[in-house]
């Protein structure tokens, strides 16, 4: 009976979790034979896993770090980094898209997960090569992402006269200036 109560009590907080409630669970494994330490951080929002970060270190130095981004149980993409390189993969047939924002020196700044219609579903910031879920999606991030998607819609690419897309782009720039 005590075991059942302990199990229910440990899950109780998940029942009240909302979509802005971010939780992290960290697990560390040491392999003494190879002298490595692996840390796994699992981030959840409202009870759903949205980010898993796996970091492998040896002699205190990071050998590889892999971030896996999820939405509603689906793996959307990965970002990996090592000492001299980094890269990302996306999942075929994913119900969402993933986009990366890079700074002027090519450092990763953020990641957006968007619906196929451009609606921002989740966002992550990057600090010192580590991604973290954004607690509340800022209106500005949603606006920038949706405006970018509006410019890149396939309908615009199919329109014969290029000035139509150009006019739309100019109108959107003017709208932003007015704000």
Reduce the secondary structure of the chain to three states and give it as a string.
CHHHHHHHHHHHHHHCCCCCCEEEEEEEEEECCCCEEEEEEEEEECCEEEEEEEEEEECCEEEEEEEEEEECCEEEEEEEEECCCEEEEECCCCCEEEEEEECCCCCEEEEEEEECCCCEEEEEEEECCEEEECCCCCHHHHHHHHHHHHHCCHHHHHCCCHHHHHHHHHHHHHHHHHC
Q: Alpha-carbon torsion 169, 172, 174, 176, what sign?
A: negative
Domain ranges in the chain are: 17-136, 138-174
Please give the pLDDT value at position 11: 42
Which pLDDT does position 118 carry in this prediction?
81
Q: What is the pLDDT along the chain (179 residues), one digit of tens a residue?
A: 444 333 333 443 444 445 568 999 999 999 999 999 999 999 998 889 999 999 999 999 999 999 999 999 999 999 999 999 999 999 988 889 999 999 999 889 999 999 888 888 899 999 999 999 998 765 545 555 555 556 555 555 444 444 554 566 666 666 666 65
Question: How far apart are the C-alpha atoms of 105 and 112, rounded to whole Å?
Answer: 20
CB 101 within 8 A of CB 118: no
Looking at residue 135, its pLDDT comes to 83
Task: Give the Å distances, CA to CA, from 167 to 23, 80, 156, 170.
Answer: 45, 39, 11, 5
Burial classification of residue 152, based on how many CB atoms lie within 10 Å of its CB (0-12 exposed, 13-18 middle, 19 or more buried): exposed
pLDDT of residue 3: 40
Length reported for the chain? 179
The answer to whether residues 99 and 71 touch, using CB atoms and an 8 Å cutoff, is no
């Amino acid at each position: 009976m005590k075991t059942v109560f302990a199990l229910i009590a440990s899950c109780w907080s998940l029942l009240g979790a909302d979509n802005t409630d971010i939780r992290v669970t960290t697990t560390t494994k040491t392999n003494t034979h190879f002298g490595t330490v692996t840390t796994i951080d699992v981030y959840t929002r409202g009870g759903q896993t949205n980010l898993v970060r796996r970091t492998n270190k040896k002699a205190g130095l990071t050998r590889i770090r892999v971030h896996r981004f999820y939405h509603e149980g689906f793996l959307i993409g990965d970002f990996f980094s090592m000492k001299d390189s980094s890269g990302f993969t996306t999942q075929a047939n994913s119900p969402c898209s993933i986009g990366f924002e890079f700074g002027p020196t090519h450092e990763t700044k953020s990641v957006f997960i968007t619906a196929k219609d451009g609606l921002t579903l989740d966002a992550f910031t990057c600090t010192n090569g580590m991604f973290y879920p954004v607690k509340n999606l800022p209106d500005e991030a949603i606006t920038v992402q949706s405006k970018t998607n509006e410019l890149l819609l396939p309908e615009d690419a199919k329109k014969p006269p290029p000035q139509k897309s150009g006019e739309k782009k100019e109108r959107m720039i003017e709208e932003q200036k007015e704000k």
